[in-house]
């Protein structure tokens, strides 16, 4: 079996196996479900981006002159809610995870395919509630829904919005559940835990967070709705309640949620670094365990969002210390990726450009997180643009870069076509430039004292704000370009072979696009992960011997 | 792994034990043990839950993985309660002059 | 490929290689789901722990207004229902259809009894003006804390009752499937998994009972 395989594009694969809207809307094929999610989250991404554009437009001038402050509150709230819950949380798990997890472990599908489809429908049902809330005028509580404003005083569509997130949350829970069971129960023969691709380790860790954390968000938002609708006053000081309790429960989920957003991206980067250096990732086991460590430690730090809330200083010190600890496994990954580059033959194709972008920008985002974890500094910069810059460096500079890199890397597998490399490289550079121009000035603004969630600011901040808004425009262009050329490539792109890069991993041992059952014959794994020397010698990542388990 | 079939006799014994523990926790609750009331009640409740989980839910006869999953879930609940309480219990410690 | 069933209905889903793998995956899936339920209820339990630690005496006093007789009876009812559920699963393991149907039916009846008693308790609270909201009224000095206690009471027992109702629905569906001959000693996962769910709901009540009904009895 040759490494650059000459497998012809198959006559029948998962895209042409069946036609018609019913074959898509009632599919249980994990690959088709991944594409269904791709469509849904892309729509929400552009809606969330529209709100961001309006925010940046308002902030181009110091006066609050584009919209009223009430409307501005709605703009940033909708931007946050849609981007977090309807784009970032599902993005890599539901699109790339759904598509790749069974392929990478050598399975025919996930453990519960119908549950998988249900997850997609739940996501869209939540999305419909969200659209309803938007069309009715939106919410102005911020994506964090703090009471007592959200429970007692906001007269916007809080109940609709929290219902939307509640339902979408169950979509996330079920996806995580599906992946946990799939990874435990359905690995191909020979696919031991330490032969798994690092993307699978990341997805497993992410799924643990989804399963353990999201239910807490669900009950907490349900309590806000109950307080609004049924007068059950769990956070109401009039009943002896404490609004800070809401913050504890909310951030118990929402901090690990940021790891739901970034861990899969880290998994993608591991795959990209391995493939485009043609080396095993340095310290595979360290990187694998660091994913689990991030998932576990990520649950211990939520109080760093409550430093100025009235939380006990002693609890604050504990959470500050733990927040420093959680940076360590992330740093281990960055060190190991960097070490992989040493004496490697690096090729600079588009996915690798996104990987480099991730490593640099995530490092900046992560380090500024440590600034925020220091109690003293946090007093100064909390609720300023410093925080906004910090989390956008991680969410956009990190998570979205990884998502785009992965989308490009696996595009030939998903669509059977190659994207145009020239346009893709250009887009990557546009995104990188636009991103830094948008968000680096915000570190400076925040440090100088510009508060977040305000639509007016002192005139001396205007220059940096204009830079930021200009950058946002460039960033927007960078996001539209892939939309265009990826869709174009589905029809006009050159056909892709099974293993175009080439890379190790079971997903590259089957055709592009794969058949519905993923593999003609169930693979038996004998190679260690990222065994590029074996690939070069012409031995594939797995023996595809006719087995006792024909697909 | 073949399924382990638990005989009904075992279920009946556990059932009786659960009823007995319920009666016990109810009766003890009327005796004033001060702060120990809460402790005793929770210990009995944990005991009942353990019986239901081990025997009715077959956890005793399940793969190690199921047991790890259950322990992990309880541990995570413990984290949530413990670290949240670390705030509320220590708020009064800092006094300002 | 293992030949795995005696019935004409093919129980093995295409993504699995053997019925055993399928059953193990389904069991793991249900336990993971139950862990999500632990965290779901856990938010309410956390709130309870926080507020009880802030107002221990008030909570104990207010708790005396709950009907301990009904609460204890309900606990016994649920324990009986767990016994009947476990027996139904036993019947499924042995392939005894009538046994499954009989004991599932008993479980449903006990579940409905629980819900009925709960509704009656809610009605009592409504009449006594203990439902939080505009018509809430509780004698001083614990009116504020009482409204908090009853908010937690209704939230926790309400969520629990909701889960019971879903459980009763699942059990009904199981009876239909059993009548159609869907289950064999080799394949009866739905019965087992529903059993796990039902026992979990029982376990939640095992904790709700002392935390809500028993905390103030020693001060009476």
- Which residues in chain A are contacts of C46 at CB distance < 8 A? 248-249
CB pairs under 8 A between A and B: 45
Is B43 inside a domain boundary? Answer: yes
- What are the extents of the domains in chain A? 33-536
Q: Say what the pLDDT of residue A136 is.
A: 95
Residues 187-216 of A with CB under 8 A from B: 212, 216
| Rounded Cα–Cα distance for residues C218 and B55 (Å) | 32
Whether A246 contacts chain B with CB within 8 A = no
Residues 1-30 of B with CB under 8 A from C: 1, 3, 5-6, 8, 11-12, 14-15, 18-19, 22, 25-26, 29-30
Q: How confident is the model at residue A1 (pLDDT cuts 50, 70, 90)?
A: very low
Nearby residues of C11 by Cβ (< 8 Å), 6 or more positions away: C4, C5, C19, C22, C184, C186, C187
- Which residues in chain A are contacts of C148 at CB distance < 8 A? 233-234, 239-241
Average pLDDT score, chain B? 92
Residue A544, pLDDT above cutoff 50:
no
> Contact, A411 vs A489, CB < 8 A?
yes
For the segment C57-71, the average pLDDT, to the nearest whole number, is: 94
Identify which of C55, C145, C152 has the shortest CB distance to residue A234: C152
| Rounded Cα–Cα distance for residues A146 and A223 (Å) | 12
Q: How confident is the model at residue A9 (pLDDT cuts 50, 70, 90)?
A: low
Whether C184 contacts chain A with CB within 8 A = no
Residue B1, pLDDT above cutoff 50:
no
| Rounded Cα–Cα distance for residues C71 and C193 (Å) | 27
For the segment B65-92, the average pLDDT, to the nearest whole number, is: 95
Residue A551, pLDDT above cutoff 80:
no
Q: What are the tens digits of pLDDT across the range A403-427? A: 999 999 999 999 999 999 999 999 9
Note whether B45 contacts C210, CB cutoff 8 Å. yes
Q: Say what the pLDDT of residue A507 is.
A: 95
Is B26 inside a domain boundary? Answer: yes
Q: Say what the pLDDT of residue B2 is.
A: 53
Q: What are the tens digits of pLDDT across the range A248-278? A: 999 999 999 999 999 999 999 999 999 999 9
Residue A192 tokens read as 């031991």
Identify which of C76, C85, C203 has the shortest CB distance to residue B19: C76
Q: Say what the pLDDT of residue C135 is.
A: 87
Average pLDDT score, chain A? 93
> Residue A538, exposed/middle/buried by CB under 10 A (0-12, 13-18, 19+)?
exposed
ipTM exceeding 0.85?
Answer: yes
Chains near B (3 or more Cβ pairs under 8 Å): A, C
Q: What are the tens digits of pLDDT across the range A485-495? A: 999 999 999 99
Please count the CA atoms within 13 angstroms of the CA of A518 that sit on its side-chain side. 25
Residue A6, pLDDT above cutoff 80:
no
Distance of CA A491 to the CA centre of its chain: 28
Closest CA of chain C from A175, distance in Å:
11
Whether C29 contacts chain B with CB within 8 A = no
> Contact, A169 vs A214, CB < 8 A?
yes
Is B2 inside a domain boundary? Answer: no
Note whether B69 contacts C203, CB cutoff 8 Å. no
> Contact, C200 vs B59, CB < 8 A?
no
Closest CA of chain B from A294, distance in Å:
15
Q: How confident is the model at residue B12 (pLDDT cuts 50, 70, 90)?
A: very high
For the segment C107-117, the average pLDDT, to the nearest whole number, is: 97
Chain B interface, best mutation among C94, C206, C211, C219, by max B CB count within 10 A: C206
Identify which of C28, C54, C144 has the shortest CB distance to residue A181: C28
Whether C105 contacts chain A with CB within 8 A = no
Which position has the higher pLDDT, C219 or A167?
A167
The β-bridge partners of A521 are: A550
In CATH, the number for domain A33-536 is 1.20.210.10
Residue A195 tokens read as 């032969």
Identify which of B72, B73, B86 has the shortest CB distance to residue A318: B86
For the segment B27-31, the average pLDDT, to the nearest whole number, is: 93
Chains near A (3 or more Cβ pairs under 8 Å): B, C
Run of H or E residues at A45? helix A30-58
- Which residues in chain C are contacts of B74 at CB distance < 8 A? 38
Note whether A212 contacts B73, CB cutoff 8 Å. yes
Identify which of B65, B76, B91 has the shortest CB distance to residue A212: B76
Please tell me what DSSP assigns to residue A417.
B
Q: Say what the pLDDT of residue C5 is.
A: 43
Residue C4, pLDDT above cutoff 70:
no
Q: Say what the pLDDT of residue A383 is.
A: 95
Closest to A496 in 3D by CA, of A368, A396, A392, A408:
A408
**Cis omega (within 30 of 0) for bond into A502:** yes
Note whether B84 contacts C46, CB cutoff 8 Å. yes
Residues 133-162 of C with CB under 8 A from B: none
Is B19 inside a domain boundary? Answer: yes
Q: Say what the pLDDT of residue A540 is.
A: 52
Identify which of C49, C76, C211 has the shortest CB distance to residue B22: C76
- Work out how many domains chain B is built from and give that number: 1
Whether C166 contacts chain B with CB within 8 A = no
Nearest CA in chain A to B73: A212
Q: Which domain holds residue B23?
A: 8-93
Closest to A347 in 3D by CA, of A413, A398, A409, A302:
A409
Is B28 inside a domain boundary? Answer: yes
Note whether C199 contacts B32, CB cutoff 8 Å. no
- What are the extents of the domains in chain C? 20-219
Q: How confident is the model at residue A431 (pLDDT cuts 50, 70, 90)?
A: very high
Whether B36 contacts chain C with CB within 8 A = no
- Which residues in chain A are contacts of B62 at CB distance < 8 A? none
Closest to A141 in 3D by CA, of A76, A82, A65:
A76
Q: Say what the pLDDT of residue A4 is.
A: 47
In CATH, the number for domain C20-219 is 1.20.120.80
Q: Return the residue matching tokens 């219902």.
A: A163
Which position has the higher pLDDT, C216 or A448?
A448
Residue B8 tokens read as 């009904």
Nearest CA in chain A to C17: A549
Whether C2 contacts chain A with CB within 8 A = no
Q: What are the tens digits of pLDDT across the range A330-374? A: 999 999 999 999 999 999 999 999 999 999 999 999 999 999 999
> Residue C162, exposed/middle/buried by CB under 10 A (0-12, 13-18, 19+)?
exposed
Q: What are the tens digits of pLDDT across the range C131-169? A: 998 888 898 888 889 999 999 999 999 999 999 999 999
Q: Say what the pLDDT of residue A100 is.
A: 97
């Amino acid at each position: 079996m040759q490494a650059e395989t000459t497998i012809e594009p198959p006559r029948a694969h998962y895209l042409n196996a069946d036609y018609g809207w019913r074959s898509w809307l009632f599919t249980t094929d994990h690959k088709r479900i991944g594409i269904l999610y791709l469509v849904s989250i892309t729509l929400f991404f552009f809606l969330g981006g529209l709100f961001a554009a309006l925010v940046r437009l308002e902030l181009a001038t110091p006066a609050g002159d584009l919209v009223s402050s009430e409307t501005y509150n709605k703009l940033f709230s909708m931007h946050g809610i849609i981007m977090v819950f309807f784009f970032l949380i599902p993005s890599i798990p539901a699109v790339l995870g759904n598509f790749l997890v069974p392929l990478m472990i050598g399975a025919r599908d996930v453990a519960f395919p119908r549950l998988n489809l249900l997850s997609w429908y739940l996501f869209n049902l939540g999305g419909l509630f969200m659209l309803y809330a938007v069309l009715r005028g939106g919410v102005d509580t911020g994506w964090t829904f703090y009471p007592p404003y959200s429970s007692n005083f906001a007269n916007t569509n809080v109940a609709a919005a929290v219902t939307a997130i509640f339902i979408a949350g169950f979509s996330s829970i079920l996806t995580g559940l599906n992946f946990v069971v799939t990874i435990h129960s359905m690995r191909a023969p020979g696919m031991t835990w330490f032969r798994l691709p690092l993307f699978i380790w990341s997805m497993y860790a992410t799924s643990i967070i989804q399963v353990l954390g999201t239910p807490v968000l669900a009950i907490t938002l349900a309590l806000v709705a109950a307080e609004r609708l049924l007068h059950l006053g769990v956070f109401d000081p009039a009943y002896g309640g404490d609004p800070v309790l809401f913050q504890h429960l909310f951030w118990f989920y929402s901090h690990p949620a940021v790891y739901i957003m970034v861990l899969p991206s880290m998994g993608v980067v591991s795959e990209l670094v391995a493939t485009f250096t043609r080396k095993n990732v340095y310290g595979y086991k360290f990187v694998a365990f660091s994913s689990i460590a991030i998932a576990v430690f990520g649950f211990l730090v939520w109080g760093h969002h409550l430093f100025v809330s009235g939380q006990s200083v002693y609890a604050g010190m504990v959470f500050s210390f733990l927040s420093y600890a959680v940076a360590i496994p992330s740093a281990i990954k960055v060190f190991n990726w960097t070490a992989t580059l040493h004496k490697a033959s690096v090729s600079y194709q588009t996915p690798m450009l996104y990987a480099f972008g991730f490593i640099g920008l995530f490092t900046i985002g992560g380090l500024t997180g440590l600034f925020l974890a220091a109690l003293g500094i946090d007093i100064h910069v909390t609720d300023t643009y410093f925080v906004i810059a910090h989390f956008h460096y991680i969410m956009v500079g990190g998570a979205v870069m990884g998502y785009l890199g992965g989308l490009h890397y696996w595009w030939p597998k998903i669509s059977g076509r190659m994207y145009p490399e020239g346009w893709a490289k250009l887009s990557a550079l546009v995104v990188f430039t636009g991103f830094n121009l948008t968000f680096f000035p915000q570190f400076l603004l925040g440090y100088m004292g510009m508060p977040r969630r305000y639509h007016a600011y002192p005139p001396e901040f205007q220059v940096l704000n204009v830079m930021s808004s200009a950058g946002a425009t460039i960033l927007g262009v960078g996001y539209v370009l892939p939309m265009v050329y990826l869709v174009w490539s589905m029809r006009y792109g050159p056909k892709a072979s099974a293993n175009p890069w080439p890379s190790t991993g079971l997903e590259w041992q089957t055709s592009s696009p794969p058949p519905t059952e993923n593999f003609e014959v169930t693979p038996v794994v004998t190679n260690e992960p990222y065994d590029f020397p074996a690939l070069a010698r012409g031995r594939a990542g797995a023996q595809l011997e006719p087995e006792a388990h024909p697909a | 792994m073949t399924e382990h079939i638990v005989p009904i006799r075992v279920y009946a014994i556990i059932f009786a034990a659960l009823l007995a523990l319920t009666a016990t926790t109810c009766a003890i609750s009327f005796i004033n043990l001060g702060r120990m009331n809460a402790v005793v009640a929770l210990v009995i409740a944990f005991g009942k839950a353990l019986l239901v989980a081990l025997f009715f839910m077959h956890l005793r006869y399940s793969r190690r993985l199921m047991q790890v999953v259950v322990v992990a879930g309880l541990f995570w609940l413990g984290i949530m309660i413990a670290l949240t309480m670390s705030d509320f219990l220590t708020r009064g410690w800092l006094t300002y002059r | 490929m293992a030949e795995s069933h005696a019935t004409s209905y093919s129980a093995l889903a295409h993504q699995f290689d053997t019925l055993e793998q399928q059953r193990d995956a389904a069991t793991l899936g249900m336990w993971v789901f139950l862990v999500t339920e632990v965290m779901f209820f856990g938010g309410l339990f956390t709130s309870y722990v926080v507020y009880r630690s802030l107002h221990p005496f008030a909570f104990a006093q207010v708790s005396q207004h709950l009907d301990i007789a009904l609460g204890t009876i309900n606990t016994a009812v649920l324990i009986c229902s767990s016994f009947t559920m476990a027996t139904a699963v036993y019947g499924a393991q042995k392939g005894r259809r009538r046994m499954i149907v009989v004991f599932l039916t008993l479980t449903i009846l006990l579940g409905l009894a629980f819900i009925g008693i709960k509704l009656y308790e809610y009605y009592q609270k409504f009449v006594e003006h203990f439902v939080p909201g505009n018509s809430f009224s509780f004698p001083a000095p614990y009116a504020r804390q009482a409204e908090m206690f009853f908010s937690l009471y209704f939230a926790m027992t309400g969520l629990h009752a909701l889960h019971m109702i879903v459980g009763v629905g699942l059990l009904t569906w199981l009876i239909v499937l059993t009548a159609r001959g869907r289950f064999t000693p080799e394949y009866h996962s739905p019965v087992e998994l529903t059993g796990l769910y039902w026992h979990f709901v029982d376990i939640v009540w095992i904790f709700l009972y002392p935390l809500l009904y028993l905390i103030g009895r020693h001060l009476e």
